[in-house]
Structure formats: C-alpha cells, structure tokens
Structure 1
C-alpha cells in the first residue's frame, strides 16, 4: 500500500531507484517519507505500490527537475550513474545539485541540514597493482567512466562545503547477490578468466548489505567523508568464479593469459576490470558507520539465493 502520510518523517529522495534503490526503500519504509525520481512513466505504479511517491524527471533534461526544489527533501540518496556521453564530467550530478540548491530549506544546521549520500565506485582508485586501498589513497582513474565518478565526487563535496550540506561518499565495488546479480549466468556462458599470474584482486558487496549501508551513511556519515563499502573477502577474480562454479555445480572457467583475453569473447567493460587490481580497506566503514555485515564473505552471500 502506498503510504503518503507520515508527517514529521524526513523526506528521502532516491535518485536512480533501481534494484538497490528498491532495497533501500523496503528498509526505509516507516522511517522516511519516500520519494523517487524516475524518467520512466511505466514505473509509476510499481513505485507507488512500494510506498514511494514517484517524481517524473530526467537528469539529462534539467528542465524536468523543477519539482525537486519545491519538495525540499531532507535526505538524498544519489544512486544514478553518470551518463555515458559526457566525457570526463558528470552532468547529471551538476543538474541535480543545481536544482537542489534552489530550495530554501536545504542549508542550515541540525535537523534542517540536507544529508546526501553519493554512490561512487572503487574504480576511482585505478590500478593499485594488488595493494591495499584505504580511502586516503589518491585517486588515479584510468577510464572515462571512473573519471566521471571522480568529477561527481568533487561536485558533491564542493556542494557540501558551499551549502553546508552533510555529504557522504560511498566507493562501491562489484555488487552481487544470490539471485539475479550472481555470477551463475556468466559461468553458464563459459567465459574465461585470467591465469593466476595475470589475475587481479576484486572486491564485493552483497546488494542487501549495500542497501543497509546507504541508510546508515545517510544518518552517520561525517561531512565530506569517503567510505569504502565492501565485505571481508580477499579474492582474485578467477578464484571468485571458481568458488561460485563449485557452489553451483558448474565447470570452473577456463584460464587464459591477459593477451588472449581480448579474443575470448569478453566485453570491453569486463576487460577494463581485468586491468585493475586492488584490495579495498573497509576499516573506516566498520568503525564509523557501525555496520555488521550480514554477508561478510562472498560464499555466504552466494548461498543466500539457495534459501529464498
């Protein structure tokens, strides 16, 4: 049922309300008045059924965002990725920040302070050659996709300082679960992974844990603070797929050398992931956001799909 009452509850605007946004909404129902920006009229009914007030607007068309300033949300969860055609700049974040600034309720202190969580990516670190990557490690983005994320981080942090918003940044690695986000489909297609000598470290977070972390960050993230959000697994990419294959009773993927990977049917995006190796440090996440992960290891998260 669509609960549009809840006076006195802070208004939470979810921008980019896909799978993770819907998981956040399910957890947040009853604590916030839920709003979601969508560019798809076909989603209006499903959002309403989830207790969310839908707002039709498109981040690529700033003139459609006029209602955001009028509604004056106290919490904003920015899950929408940058557009693919903006070069190294994130125009979507620019458009959203511009509209939010037009609301007179968004600056101040205490309960009147706007709290924002921006969902970034661990790709901003670039290739760390397998080294540990704490939040203090300088960003060295190596793809246009990561450059746009760095630009967005700068925009949101600057807006936080200029307008006294409380902005937290989450650097998110590979998102998975035991169902639609599992590696099972990739294994069934028989796609290869790198040989151990060429393989890279990857990092993971279960979709349910990420949804919880988004809500915790909205209330607990320090102003301008960055958080790596990942589980405790330390796995190379090939080992991750081997683990999943064993769980599903599927053949382990074939190992190929890096110079053979291009001709092996892998997508350009997957190949870009294979060029970067890093191990995220989640110490700050645990200490400051106070989270206890439901799925601290990948195997536990993959098994979660077997009991649903």
Structure 2
C-alpha cells in the first residue's frame, strides 16, 4: 500500500508545540511546505492530528523527560503552548528551550496582556511591557527566555502578541446567555481582537518573512470598546445585550479573573504585520465575521 505521507519525507521539518484550535487551523496552510510534527499531552488526540496531516508527538511541557524525543527533530518551531497556571516564571518554555536546536526559526504566540493597562492609548511594538497580573508576567518571562535562547543559539525569533482570539465557534455566547454585565460607556475599556484563521495566516507570514528577534502585534483593525463588542455579538446571535454597570458595582458581581480583563484598555497598531509580513486580513474587523452569522 502506498504511504500517503511518503511525499512529505523530503520536506523541511516543522514542529508545532501545543497544537490546539489555532494549530489545527495552521496545518492546512503548511501542507506541501513542511513535514509537520505536532505535540499533544493527550494520547487520545493522536488520531485527530494524524488525520489532519501531522505526525503526532506525545509530550508534556511540564515533564522534561517527555521532551527528549523532540530534541533536534525540527529547525522550525511554532510555540503555541501557554505557561502553566501559577508562579511568576514560565517553566514550560524553559523546559522547551533546553531541547531546541541552534540556528532555528521559532514563532512564539504571546499575549497583548504584557502591556497592562494603557489608558486606551494607541501604540506600536516599541511600547515597554508593564504586566499587571501573574498570567501576563509569565508571558513576559517566556518572551525573555526565548530572546536569550535566540541570541545564544544564533536563531531567528518572532514574537506575536495576540489579543482575544475569536471565530464563529469562539464567541462569548455563554457569557451573553448568562447575562453577565458589562461596563457603562464612560468606564469601559478598549479591547483588541483577531480571528483564529487570520492568526494562523500571521504565523505563516512570520515563518516566511519575520525579522530576527522582532515583535509583531497580531491584531485586526477593530476599534471597539468591550461592551460594544458584546452588544455586536449579542445582536448577531439574536441574544439580549448584556446589562451595563458602573465599575464599582461590576466588581461586586464578576470574578477577579474576569474583572482583570475589564480593567485594561489599549489599542494596538498592526502596521508591522501588514507591511513586514505581507498579511492581508480575511476578517479585518469583528463586524466582518458577525455579518456572516
């Protein structure tokens, strides 16, 4: 029987670390260009990844011994795995860099949360980081670990700072159905977005055109406050718009984790993604997707 993967054997190898939803959207864009290996910590996902065209690798970033099989496997890496859920340091990224090769190309998907609250300011990638919660602090740590690895190993690193990822199946339906309140306009914050398919395209752009040790804002052209986003999604899904409360009242009824997302306001410029990576956004604004619903 002819092996359907035989034609990929001579292609350059690419490793996806943490192949979740975005990784699965990325796989079709890599077909024919790379032989793709994809990690998962769940053995039951191997059949799914294989069906999507990847070679599954069972590995757990919390278990360094499980990463030994990845050492030297590929010189092109897409790092999609988030840090662990506690502590100031990203131990997972530290474990990963211990097995990465020299002279590699790596794209890391970070978060716009590293900037903290910016008072609604519009800015580019030259703004210093100022994380305000442990989740963002771990991301800053991961970026630093990877920068040092890139210099030490003479590798090319692209860091994509990513906001809220959305898609037709990644909308806040449950929140709207539960009637979770939003902020009144004068207390509301600016929020940033990227469609999951566009993020996959930006990753490909970074693999092809990313400059060494360069930051990129992987955001779309939306210019929305958070409650306006919820209103737009509610209208598209035929759901009730959320009630709006002043911040003092809101913090009494939402979780601290949710409140932290509603306490940081920023607008990120995306010129580098368009000009340096040559990406044309399929969904330039949230409204583009919502109109199809």
Q: What is residue 95 of structure 2 aligned with on the other side?
A: 95
User: Aligned to 1:133, which of 123, 135, 156?
Assistant: 123
- The aligned runs of 1:153-172 (5 Å cut-off) are 153-172=143-162
Q: Flag as ranges the 4+ runs of structure 1 deviating above 3 A.
A: none
Which residue in 2 is equivalent to 1:34? 36
For 1:270 and 1:3, the matched residues in 2 are separated by 44
| Cα deviation, residue 260, structure 1 | 1.4
RMSD: 1.4
Aligned ranges for residues 101-140 of structure 1 at < 5 Å?
101=101, 106-107=102-103, 114-140=104-130
Is the CA contact (8 Å cut-off) linking 2:72 and 2:100 kept in structure 1? Answer: no
The equivalences for 1:1-308 within 5 A come to 3=5, 5-71=7-73, 73-85=74-86, 87-101=87-101, 106-107=102-103, 114-178=104-168, 180-264=169-253, 266-304=254-292, 306=293
> Is the Cα contact below 8 Å between 2:116 and 2:129 reproduced in 1?
yes
1:67-124: CA deviations, max 9, x gaps?
A: 11142x0210000000012x111111111000114xxxx33xxxxxx11000000000
Structure 2 Cα separation of the partners of residues 165 and 70 of structure 1 = 14
Residues 220-243 of structure 1: CA distance to partner in whole angstroms, max 9, x if unpaired? Answer: 110000000111010000111111
The change in CA–CA distance for 1:204 and 1:4 in structure 2 (over 3 A counts) is: farther
CA distance in 2, matches of 1:34, 1:25: 8
Q: 1 CA distance for matches of 2:215 and 2:186? A: 32
Contact (CA 8 Å) 1:4, 1:51: kept in 2 or not? no
Cα 1:4–1:88 change in 2 (3 A) is farther
| Cα distance in 2 between the residues matched to 1:303 and 1:41 | 38
Structure 1: where are the runs of 5+ without partners? 108-113
- CA displacement at 1:183 relative to structure 2: 2.2
Q: How many residues align?
A: 291
- Structure 2 unaligned residues grouped into runs of 5+: none
Cα contact 1:17–1:38 (8 A) shared by 2: yes
**So what's the TM-score if we normalise by structure 1?**
0.91
- Aligned residue for 2:187, secondary structure, equals coil
TM-score by length of 2: 0.96
Return the alpha-carbon distance in structure 2 between the equivalents of residues 6 and 280 of structure 1. 38
Structure 2 distance, partners of 1:129, 1:2, is 53
